[in-house]
């Protein structure tokens, strides 16, 4: 039943948004024709009043009546698009309604599975709203057994498909910053009768402004971070910034420079390593050194005996390379970039090797592959070959 009510709440909000001020009679007529009304019941005045009250309580959205013409409208409609948890709830529930109404889409819209943290999400939200302490039976990955904590819940944060509660331990962490508790490591959550008072000085947005992800240890100070990112990977950072403080300070055909300001931690290092060789830490030096140490450890773990390679240019283990051979284990890529065989140079261009040389290759087929890899696009906009120019223009959207 609760699920049907949520569908009704979303229907009511979306109807008022799209139709504008409407009377209760008009809403009742629209409700009878709605696919959300799967039971075919009328929208009784008392049910409507209950929906209005629930929407105000759950979403913080006020539906009010203009007594001059008895029409209803959303008083704080701008809050629907204001970001944060309200918008997240609206989008999630609206999408759920849409999928439920389109049964054929169920097997064609796929979501990533998430840990079972949602079990306690509503309980914790109620405790945060009512400023009640909670008793959490918790077992961190570093703990051998679970134990109870009496916590003052401050705020919730989602990070990489996991929910985290930031709370103070009522006794042990009374004078410290809130600590992170992962919901998927909670065994049980009970709302206590004991109340607490959220400090007026606590601002969740400000609390996370100098953090990256979740982890931050005592003594870590915000620092200016500067990274160099390959041109292709830079597109991903532009469309999905790594942090609110991200700024792009330099852009070329080959790379972009991004700066940030936060306290670097393992979460950030993990994400940098995930980008691979498309990114380089420029500042600060200590972070660059930390990455270097990890890379050296990885090099030792994945060290392999060097394969024996013949001296002839463009030849690997005595075999002429062909289209089916993946160029991932060359010992001499420079030889293939400089090869007299255009087929070798084309393959190198496809894999992004030696593009600084191959961008000026006399054969337009080689330059075309460089252009397709989104290197030196501005140069290729004026290339003498029409096919190369067309590829470059397609990339920049001309």
Both tokens of residue 198? 């959220």
* Distance separating alpha carbons of residues 64 and 80, to the nearest angstrom: 15
CATH of 223-301, one of 2.60.120, 3.40.50, 3.30.70, 3.40.1130: 3.30.70
Domain range summary for the chain, segments of one domain joined by +:
2-105, 116-199, 223-301, 333-396
Strands (E), 196-265: 223-230, 247-251, 255-262
Cis peptide before 144 (omega within 30 of 0): no
Of all residues in the chain, what percent are helix, strand and coil, respectively (each to 5)? 45, 20, 35
| Residue 376 and residue 359 in contact, taking contact as beta carbons nearer than 8 Å | yes
The predicted structure's pLDDT at residue 238: 93
* Distance separating alpha carbons of residues 108 and 104, to the nearest angstrom: 8
Angstrom distances, CA of residue 329 to CA of 128, 296, 333: 55, 19, 9
Determine if residue 168 is left, alpha or beta; phi over 0 gives left, psi from -120 to 50 gives alpha, anything else beta: beta
Coil, strand or helix at 359: coil
What is the CATH architecture assignment of 116-199? Roll (2.30)
* Residue entry with tokens 């005996």: 305
The predicted structure's pLDDT at residue 25: 93
Residues whose CB falls within 8 Å of the CB of residue 110, separated by 6 or more in sequence, listed in order:
none
The predicted structure's pLDDT at residue 311: 44
Residue 279, H or E segment? strand 279-283
The predicted structure's pLDDT at residue 87: 57
Both tokens of residue 96? 């759920």
Model pTM?
0.57
Both tokens of residue 241? 């910034």
The predicted structure's pLDDT at residue 305: 62
The predicted structure's pLDDT at residue 329: 40
| Residue 163 and residue 156 in contact, taking contact as beta carbons nearer than 8 Å | yes
| Stretches in the chain below the pLDDT threshold 50 | 1-3, 83-85, 309-331
Residues whose CB falls within 8 Å of the CB of residue 358, separated by 6 or more in sequence, listed in order:
337, 345, 348, 349, 366, 367, 369, 370
* Distance separating alpha carbons of residues 80 and 13, to the nearest angstrom: 9
The predicted structure's pLDDT at residue 125: 84
Sign of the torsion angle spanned by Cα atoms 357, 237, 220, 148: negative
* Distance separating alpha carbons of residues 285 and 334, to the nearest angstrom: 31
- Convert 25-76 into a string of H (helix), E (strand) and C (coil): HHHHHHHHCCCCCCCCCCCCHHHHHHHHHHHHHHHCCCEEEECCCCEEEECC
The predicted structure's pLDDT at residue 136: 93
Both tokens of residue 16? 């008022």
The predicted structure's pLDDT at residue 233: 92
* Distance separating alpha carbons of residues 153 and 134, to the nearest angstrom: 7
What is the CATH architecture assignment of 2-105? Orthogonal Bundle (1.10)
Residues whose CB falls within 8 Å of the CB of residue 8, separated by 6 or more in sequence, listed in order:
36, 51
Angstrom distances, CA of residue 259 to CA of 225, 238, 284, 384: 5, 12, 11, 37
The predicted structure's pLDDT at residue 315: 39
* Distance separating alpha carbons of residues 244 and 93, to the nearest angstrom: 26
């Amino acid at each position: 039943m609760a699920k049907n009510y949520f569908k009704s709440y979303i229907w009511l909000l979306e109807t008022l948004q799209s139709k504008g001020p409407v009377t209760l009679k008009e809403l009742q007529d629209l409700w009878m024709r709605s696919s959300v009304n799967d039971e075919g019941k009328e929208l009784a005045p008392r049910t409507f009043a209950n929906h209005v009250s629930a929407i105000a309580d759950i979403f913080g959205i006020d539906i009010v009546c203009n007594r001059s013409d008895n029409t209803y409208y959303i008083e704080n409609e701008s809050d629907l698009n204001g970001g944060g948890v309200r918008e997240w709830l609206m989008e999630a529930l609206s999408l759920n309604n849409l999928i439920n109404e389109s049964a054929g889409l169920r097997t064609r819209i796929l979501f990533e599975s998430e840990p079972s943290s949602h079990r306690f999400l509503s309980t914790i939200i109620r405790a945060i709203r009512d400023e009640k302490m909670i008793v959490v039976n918790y077992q961190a990955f570093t703990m051998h057994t679970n134990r109870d904590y009496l916590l003052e819940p401050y705020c919730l944060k989602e990070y990489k498909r996991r929910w985290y509660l930031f709370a103070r331990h009522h006794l042990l962490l009374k004078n410290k910053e809130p600590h992170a508790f992962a919901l998927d490591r909670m065994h049980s959550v009970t709302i206590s009768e004991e109340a607490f008072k959220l400090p007026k000085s606590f601002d969740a947005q400000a609390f996370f402004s100098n953090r990256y992800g979740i982890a931050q240890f005592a003594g870590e100070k915000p620092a200016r971070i500067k990274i160099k990112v390959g041109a292709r990977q830079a597109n991903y950072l532009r469309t999905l910034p790594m942090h609110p403080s991200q700024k792009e300070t330099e852009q070329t055909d080959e790379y972009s420079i991004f700066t940030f300001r936060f306290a670097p931690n393992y979460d950030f290092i993990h994400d940098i390593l995930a980008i691979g060789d498309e990114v380089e830490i420029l500042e600060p030096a200590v972070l660059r050194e930390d990455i270097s140490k990890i890379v050296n450890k990885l090099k030792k773990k994945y060290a392999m005996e060097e394969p024996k390679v013949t001296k002839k240019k463009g030849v690997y283990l005595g075999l002429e390379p062909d289209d089916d051979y993946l160029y991932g284990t060359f010992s001499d890529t420079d030889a293939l970039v400089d090869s007299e065989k255009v087929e070798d140079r084309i393959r190198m261009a496809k894999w992004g090797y030696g593009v600084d040389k191959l961008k000026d290759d006399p054969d337009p087929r080689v330059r075309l592959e460089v252009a397709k890899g989104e290197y030196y696009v501005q140069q290729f906009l004026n290339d003498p070959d029409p096919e190369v120019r067309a590829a470059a223009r397609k990339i920049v959207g001309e």
